[in-house]
């Protein structure tokens, strides 16, 4: 009886340890970093810090964008993906990928800007004009600015004509009078101000803080592994933040934090943004 009981306890203990032990490495991708070399350069310090803090090994899985990343997860080639808010909604709808932790970006909000000398004073004044947005499907450069215009009563592709121009080309079009405004995020205002020092820009409408970038997990990952990852961020946040912001490319996270209490409902606001452009099913990336 003692032998049977001991054997049962041993088997139970092994069953608890198996998910972590079996998953020697968690396969990790970032949707906006193209190629293994860039991934190692930009996320290498974070990888080292995370491995030391969690006891898990990280295996980089390079992707060339969000579409490749979601297909890789569908094929069970990747376990965790760091991506943006709009992308998370698609991952969740297609694969039931779950939120693990958010990467907060200070001053992450959308705007619509015009030239300072423009007669446009309110969002409503843009009615009947062309408005340029950034990357199609981007939370901060497309969906966010559209949401601001929708709240002002302007229907997408009804009360104005959306166009998608390279940021610098869009500014040149704005100067030439070919478009009335540009949808941008806060960081891009700094970029165009530096690129066009002779021009003054004015924010017509500014949005609230957007939902954060998010680390999501494939539904195929063992719950124990997901919990280990989540707990590592919760317990070692300062160490991991220092590591990830040690590379210039991740400066957007300086002054930020991690939120391991994130829920899927936190991204309902992004689903509403999709609805503003006529999308009610979230299984495909916009423009793909």
pLDDT digits (tens, 9 = 90+) for 177-208: 999 999 999 999 999 999 999 999 999 999 99
pLDDT value of position 286: 87
Q: Are 85 and 211 in contact (CB under 8 A)?
A: yes
Mean pLDDT (whole number) for 3-18: 38
Instruction: Answer yes or no: is pLDDT of 15 > 70.
Output: no
CATH number for the domain that contains residue 149: 3.40.190.10
The verdict on 125 and 257 lying in the same domain is no
Of 157, 172, 206, the last residue of a domain is 206
Mean pLDDT (whole number) for 200-223: 97
Higher-pLDDT residue of 214 and 135 is: 214
The verdict on 128 and 100 lying in the same domain is no
The verdict on 193 and 59 lying in the same domain is no
pLDDT value of position 4: 38
The mean pLDDT of the chain is 92
Mean pLDDT (whole number) for 7-24: 42
The verdict on 176 and 269 lying in the same domain is no
pLDDT value of position 126: 98
Tokens 């899985």 identify what position? 61
Of 178, 206, 234, the last residue of a domain is 206
Instruction: Answer yes or no: is pLDDT of 17 > 60.
Output: no
Task: Look at residue 286 and tell me if it is in a domain.
Answer: no
- By percentage, how much of the chain surpasses pLDDT 90? 89
Of 179, 206, 233, the last residue of a domain is 206
Angle among Cα 36, 89, 98 to the nearest 5 degrees reads: 75
pLDDT value of position 9: 37
Task: Look at residue 19 and tell me if it is in a domain.
Answer: yes
pLDDT value of position 288: 64
Task: Look at residue 202 and tell me if it is in a domain.
Answer: yes
pLDDT value of position 287: 75
How many structural domains are present in the chain? Answer: 2
pLDDT digits (tens, 9 = 90+) for 221-277: 999 999 999 999 999 999 999 999 999 999 999 999 999 999 999 999 999 999 999
pLDDT digits (tens, 9 = 90+) for 275-284: 999 999 999 9
Task: Look at residue 123 and tell me if it is in a domain.
Answer: yes
Q: Which structural domain range is residue 245 located in?
A: 2-106+210-276
pLDDT value of position 10: 37
pLDDT value of position 13: 38
């Amino acid at each position: 009886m003692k032998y049977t009981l001991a054997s049962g306890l041993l088997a139970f203990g092994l069953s608890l340890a198996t998910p972590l032990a079996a998953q020697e490495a968690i396969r990790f991708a970032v949707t906006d970093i193209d190629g293994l070399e860039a991934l190692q350069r930009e996320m290498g310090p974070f990888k080292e810090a995370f491995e030391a803090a969690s006891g898990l090994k990280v295996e980089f899985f390079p992707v060339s964008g969000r579409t490749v990343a979601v297909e890789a997860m569908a094929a069970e080639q990747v376990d965790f993906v760091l991506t943006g808010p709009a992308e998370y909604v698609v991952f969740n709808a297609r694969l039931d990928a779950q939120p693990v932790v958010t990467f907060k970006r200070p001053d992450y909000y959308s705007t619509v800007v015009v030239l300072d000398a423009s007669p446009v004073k309110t969002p409503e004044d843009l009615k009947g004009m062309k408005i340029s947005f950034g990357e199609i499907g981007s939370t901060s450069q497309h969906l966010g600015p559209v949401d601001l215009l929708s709240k002002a009563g302007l229907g997408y592709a009804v009360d104005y004509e959306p166009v998608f121009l390279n940021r610098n080309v869009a500014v040149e079009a704005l100067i030439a009078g070919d478009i009335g405004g540009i949808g941008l995020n806060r960081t891009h205002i700094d970029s165009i101000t530096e690129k066009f020092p002779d021009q003054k820009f004015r924010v017509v409408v500014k949005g609230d803080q957007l939902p954060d970038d998010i680390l999501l997990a494939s539904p195929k990952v063992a719950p124990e592994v997901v919990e280990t990852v989540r707990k590592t961020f919760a317990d070692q946040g300062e160490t991991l933040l220092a590591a990830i912001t040690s590379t210039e490319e991740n400066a957007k996270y300086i002054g930020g934090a991690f939120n391991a209490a994130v829920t899927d409902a936190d991204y309902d606001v992004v689903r509403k943004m999709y609805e503003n452009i006529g999308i009610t099913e979230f299984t495909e990336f916009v423009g793909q």
